[in-house]
């Protein structure tokens, strides 16, 4: 089963260089080290980039630092619909379809535990065996932490950004064919694990909004200071995160 992680890290020259550098720091300090720490190494990281990005070489270096097979593809044909963080694009043309595939959405400012993607694959393998590999399904990691500066809150989301699509042979759909808030339009949602698997970093230049209980059935707990256990669970630059100006 081929497994692709899909990330949009596309920044045009028109973007303020300060914001571009800020997003690069997040990629370097949060997302790339989490990908480098994944226990499942049989993954291809497919990243859509703007070929005219003035920081493209640094961005590519951060992606390649994961040590995983990577594809940096042009975002030229990408169409953004509705919300600013919807990662619509020509993902499928870069994916080999010689059997069932897994595609997983990961934004370039989010982090994962080292075993997060392995748990998605394990669930998909079990699903494939039980369903004889013929039924599309969405696989989610519903539990994670919203973090800002030195604070965190544990959250459960029905339609989290950290979601995957199992596509059987002959099915060319990807998890990024819809917004993460519409993943239930692709297939029934199954939860891979209830273990906290992701961090969603809130910062002043975030491109998404916090979707709580009304929009996404979020169940946040009371915010609390970061713990040593939480810091140990995610191989990220916590000094960077704690120094970010937060956006609630």
Q: Which residue has the tokens 């120094």?
A: 243
Q: How far is CA 175 from the centre of its chain?
A: 10
Number of domains in the chain: 1
Cα dihedral across residues 207, 78, 10, 72: positive or negative: positive
d(CA 95, CA 58): 24
Q: What is the pLDDT of residue 133?
A: 67
Give the model confidence (pLDDT) of 56-86 as tens digits. Answer: 999 999 999 999 999 999 998 776 544 555 5
Instruction: Please report whether residue 248 resides in a domain.
Output: no
The pLDDT of 124-145, averaged and rounded, is 90
Two tokens at 127? 């699903």
Give the model confidence (pLDDT) of 229-242 as tens digits. Answer: 999 999 999 999 99
Instruction: Please report whether residue 62 resides in a domain.
Output: yes
Residue span of the structural domain in which 200 resides? 2-242
Instruction: Please report whether residue 196 resides in a domain.
Output: yes
Q: Which residue has the tokens 């619509």?
A: 88
Q: What is the pLDDT of residue 134?
A: 79
Instruction: Please report whether residue 33 resides in a domain.
Output: yes
Give the model confidence (pLDDT) of 146-170 as tens digits. Answer: 999 999 999 999 999 999 999 999 9
Q: Which residue has the tokens 């392995």?
A: 118
Sequence-distant (≥ 6) Cβ neighbours of residue 61 within 8 angstroms: none
Phi/psi region, residue 76 (left: phi>0; alpha: psi -120 to 50; beta: rest), is alpha
Give the model confidence (pLDDT) of 173-228 as tens digits. Answer: 999 998 888 999 999 999 999 999 999 998 766 655 544 433 445 566 789 999 99
**3-state per-residue secondary structure call for the chain:** CEEEEEEECCCCCCCCHHHHHHHHHHHHHHHHHHHHCCCCCCCEEEEEECCCCCCHHHHHHHHHCCCCCEEEEECCCCCCCCCCCCCCCCHHHHCCCCCCEEEEECCCCEEECCCHHHHHHHHHHHHHHHHCCCCCEEEECCEEEEEECCEEEEEECCCCCCEEEEECCCCCCCHHHCCHHHHHHCCCEEECCCCCCEEEECCCCCCCCCCCHHHHCCCCCCCEECCHHHHHHCCCCHHHHHCCCCCC
Instruction: Please report whether residue 116 resides in a domain.
Output: yes
Instruction: Please report whether residue 113 resides in a domain.
Output: yes
Q: What is the pLDDT of residue 130?
A: 83
Instruction: Please report whether residue 229 resides in a domain.
Output: yes
Phi, psi values for residue 23, rounded to 5°: -65, -35
> Which residue has better confidence, 37 or 86?
37
Two tokens at 6? 């899909």
The pLDDT of 112-139, averaged and rounded, is 91
The predicted model scores a pTM of: 0.92
72: CATH: 3.90.550
Q: What is the pLDDT of residue 219?
A: 60
Q: What is the pLDDT of residue 89?
A: 75
User: Residue 33: is its pLDDT beyond 80?
Assistant: yes
Give the model confidence (pLDDT) of 15-29 as tens digits. Answer: 999 999 999 999 999
User: Residue 90: is its pLDDT beyond 50?
Assistant: yes
């Amino acid at each position: 089963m081929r497994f692709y992680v899909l990330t949009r890290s596309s920044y045009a020259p028109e973007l303020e260089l300060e914001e571009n550098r800020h997003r690069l720091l997040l990629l370097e300090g949060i997302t790339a080290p989490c990908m480098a720490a994944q226990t499942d190494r049989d993954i291809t990281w497919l990243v859509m980039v703007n070929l005219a990005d003035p920081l493209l070489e640094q961005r590519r270096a951060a992606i390649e630092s994961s040590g995983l097979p990577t594809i940096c593809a042009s975002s030229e044909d990408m169409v953004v619909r509705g919300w600013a963080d919807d990662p619509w694009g020509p993902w499928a043309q870069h994916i080999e379809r010689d059997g069932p595939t897994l595609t997983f959405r990961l934004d370039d400012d989010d982090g994962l535990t080292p075993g997060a993607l392995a748990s998605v694959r394990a669930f998909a393998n079990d699903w494939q065996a039980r369903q004889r590999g013929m039924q599309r399904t969405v696989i989610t990691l519903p539990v994670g932490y919203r973090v800002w500066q030195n604070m965190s809150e544990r959250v459960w989301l029905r339609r989290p950004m950290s979601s995957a699509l199992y596509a059987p042979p002959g099915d060319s759909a990807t998890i990024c064919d819809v917004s993460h808030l519409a993943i239930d339009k692709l297939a029934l949602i199954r939860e891979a694990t209830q273990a906290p698997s992701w961090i969603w970093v809130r910062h002043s230049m975030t491109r998404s909004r916090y979707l709580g209980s009304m929009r996404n059935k979020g169940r946040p707990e009371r915010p609390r200071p970061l713990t040593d256990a939480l810091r140990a669970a995610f191989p990220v630059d916590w000094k960077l995160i704690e120094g970010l100006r937060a956006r609630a």
